[in-house]
Amino acid sequence: MSDTIPERTDTVLNTVLSWSQNRPLWQRDALRRIVLGGYPDEDSLREILALCKKEHGDQTVTLTAQSLTTDHLPVDPGAGESVSLGKIENVVGVNQLANGQTLEFEKSGLTIVYGQNGTGKSGYTRILKNACRSRHAGEIMPDVYNASPSGTASGELTIFRAEGASEVISWKNGDDPAEILSAITVFDREAASVHVQKKNEVWFRPFGLDIPDDLAGVCQDIKMRLTTEKETLEEKRNEAFASPIWSSRSALGKSLSALSHDTDIAAITPKAPFSQTDEARLAKLNADLAQDPAVAARAQRDYATQLDLLETYLKRIEQAFSVEAIQLLNAHKKSADDARGAANTAASGAFLGSALEGVGESVWRALWESARVYSKVAQNDGVEFPPTSGDVCVLCHQSIDKKAAERMHGFEGFIKKDTDTKAAEAERILQQAEERFRAIAVHINKASAPYRSLKSSHFALARRVLRYIASARRVQRQTLAILRGKVVSKPQKMLAPVADLVRREAEKIRAYAASLDDAYEGAAREVVLDELADLQDSKQRPELLDIATKEVARLATLKQIDDCLRETATTAITRLGNEIADNLITPRMRDRFQQEIVKLAGSRVRVEVVRSGGRFGSPQYEVKLYANQKAKVHDVLSEGEQTCVALASYLAELANASHHSALVFDDPVSSLDHRWRSKVAKRLASEAGVRQVVVFTHDMIFVNDLAQLAAERNTPVALAHLTRGQDVVGIVNKDLPWTASSIRDRIDKLEKAAREAKRLFEAHNDEGYKVAVASLYNRLRATWERALEDIVFANVIMRHRDYINTKDLKRVVALEERDVQIFQSGFKKCCDFVDAHDPSRGHDPEPPEPDGIMRDIQMLKDWSEALRGKMNGVA
């Protein structure tokens, strides 16, 4: 199979497509998935593996490979042409997005879609990622909170071509998207072309160059899965091939010993079935061969005798560790515990009130008996023990009072009772049983000679014997632990007995020894032995053919896996990556990257792109510091700076396109600090001057920066924000939320609110009108305050912005005394109708009538427009 790379192609993707024509179908299918959606997910990898197996004969696979074609490559509309988004509407079945919404875009400038977390931004961006070009489209799910979610996700996208013609494209999740949409690209953190491949370095991966890298990764993944399957299959080889149950003399036995993946089972099947005549002949041969024992037969019998010893040893373990034996030990333990409990109970009664610890225990008993003996020899005539009231204690030589005498007689009563004696006896029985159990030698060395012989002749049975003895050792340890009072959380049980298996093996060995006893000499003996072998294997033909059938199937699968493994080599893919890097990632591309990084980060990020090695030999470009090539870039660049590098690479790649189609950015500053946010805003606003740019973001400061920078360039700007409903998200609102709206937008909203209040007034809904007016004047007062920031101070200083716009400071001089007076008047009137603090009980002003409200709004409108006009006239 050839993997030669064409000498000249125009683009990275065309190079990949041409190269893929001579690759296996499963790799061509993998390339299609990579180009359309980035590195395959787990389900896709399983399908690619199945396609690889199908290509090598797995007839159980019903999938069909879909090769990479020109239809899957991003469309280049042609020089000077571009494609822009008009709107998204009629969305159904996408997350919790509300139905009936229309999200419109400014087709020749900047569109900013603002939304807090959980308002539906991800839903709309996932539609664009699936319909347009994105390295990581992500999964679109239905509304998980809906008991009966809608069917397949779908929607309609309106696009505009360069000449202004519009087109409505129906999109359905899972279907191949329209080709023209691939001209629109979506950027987010996952689609960035910068990846941290090592802890201390940052690697730059130009778009398209990661395709060979991803294909190599797929090959490595497929190789790993195939290797795991191969290891599993190799372990499933029937143990009969290690210890054959057939004869190497028989025709069937020879075939079984030479099985391969293409063995024809029908060809090795004996022609005639085993008959009664064959059975009689087999019995006669065995009888004849058993008449004269040979030396070999004696050796086999000696081996069988060794197995008898092993059987005896295993039987002893089997009896000692049987369920009944363990239960008896536990019964001794329980009896001893119960007896000792009874003795302790008796002691508690006898020693009630004693202040000393240990009274009644064995040490105390020994002391008590010593006192008894001493009392007898302390005086010639002896002393009564224990002493009674009024006697003198022979130990302390003090008079015994009544209470002491009662206590000592209670002690003596405890001694005379038999509860402690019974406890001691039960403990003695337990101790003897435990010692006998402990003395059982459980180790394979106790049967080393027969075990070694068994291991060489029947490895599987030897392994079972070893495991059985090991389980006995574990049971012995845990049983002794239980007898010592320890708690064993998960007690293990003995494995199934193996003594009978050993006995049967010994019987088989003896039968085999008998078959070696031959009354014939030389060639005659060989003929008889061959006939005997054929009859013996013919008799077990069903079992042997079943083993053979499964083994051939196993070998065929192993052959299939080996064939697949050969195609996972990445050498050809490495050559492709090197060819792309050398011929297509040109100095112009690197220069453009440098221009972009300067625009985004200025002199703060002084980096360059240097050709370096890469994963599986796929080339990469390493980001190095100009000042110190050996510095660890990852330790120097912050996450925000790395994102600037990602944006620089993304924009540099787009510079090579012959068109200026729309760019969509999904939260491009989600992880940036303020130092980089303004730089990114400036760059995107600049790009919106030459093509459509759509930005989804939750950062209001970023929104303000984008909108202001676009306005300074006279770039058309469309604003929208998304909100949540009761059970849905993604409700589209034109402009921005109230807190982010401009003065003009706020005045427009206030006029609409005044008209709504007028309807309440005309309906004589006094209370509703009063509440509406209070809310309206609260917003009107806030707008007067915002006017100070936006108009009076010309946005020189803005709250939460990280810089001062000094170039507009000169416009502030346009403010006159009359402007101040109007502001104070309008602001004061708002305060009269807003309860910023709890009012007095006597303060309950009547709200103004609707005409008065409109005049107050008009005052703000006239004042702001007039002041703007004067400021704009400042040179």
Q: Indicate if the pLDDT at residue 136 is higher than 80.
A: no
- Residue range 738-753: average pLDDT? 84
DSSP type of residue 180: G
- Residue range 1-22: average pLDDT? 68
Q: Is the peptide bond before 845 cis (omega within 30 degrees of 0)?
A: no
Give the per-residue pLDDT at 199. Answer: 47
What SS3 state is found at 709?
A: helix
Between CA 138 and CA 94 the distance in angstroms is: 12
Between CA 826 and CA 792 the distance in angstroms is: 15
Give the per-residue pLDDT at 6. Answer: 43
Give the per-residue pLDDT at 365. Answer: 66
- Residue range 403-412: average pLDDT? 76
pLDDT single digits (tens) 226-269? 999 999 999 899 988 888 899 888 888 899 889 999 999 888 88
Q: Indicate if the pLDDT at residue 62 is higher than 90.
A: yes
Q: Is the whole model's pTM more than 0.95, yes or no?
A: no
pLDDT single digits (tens) 472-514? 888 888 888 888 888 888 888 888 999 999 999 888 778 656 6
Give the per-residue pLDDT at 193. Answer: 56
Contact, 702 vs 798, CB < 8 A? Answer: no
Q: Which is more confident, 306 or 875?
A: 306
Q: Assign residue 716 a region (left: φ > 0; alpha: ψ between -120 and 50; beta: otherwise).
A: beta
What SS3 state is found at 88?
A: strand
Angle at 565 between CA 559 and CA 566, to 5 degrees: 95
Mean per-residue pLDDT of the chain: 80
pLDDT single digits (tens) 694-744? 999 988 888 888 888 888 889 999 989 898 888 889 889 887 787 777 788
Confidence band of 1 (pLDDT split at 50, 70, 90): very low
Q: How far is CA 628 from the centre of its chain?
A: 38
pLDDT single digits (tens) 430-471? 888 888 888 888 888 878 888 888 887 678 888 888 899 888
Q: Indicate if the pLDDT at residue 30 is higher than 60.
A: yes
- Residue range 350-360: average pLDDT? 59
Cα→Cα distances 294→501, 513, 517, Å: 26, 8, 6
User: Domain residue spans in the chain?
Assistant: 302-322+440-504, 330-432, 741-872
Q: Indicate if the pLDDT at residue 8 is higher than 60.
A: no
Joined tokens for residue 12: 């990275």
Q: Judging by beta carbons within 10 Å of its beta carbon (0-12, 13-18, 19+), is residue 432 exposed, middle or buried?
A: exposed
Q: Which is more confident, 8 or 652?
A: 652
Give the per-residue pLDDT at 839. Answer: 59
Q: Which is more confident, 537 or 395?
A: 537
Contact, 665 vs 187, CB < 8 A? Answer: yes
Half-sphere exposure of 474 (CA within 13 A, CB side): 13
Q: How many CB atoms lie within 10 A of CB 635?
A: 9
Contact, 479 vs 492, CB < 8 A? Answer: no
Q: How large a percentage of the chain has pLDDT more than 70?
A: 80
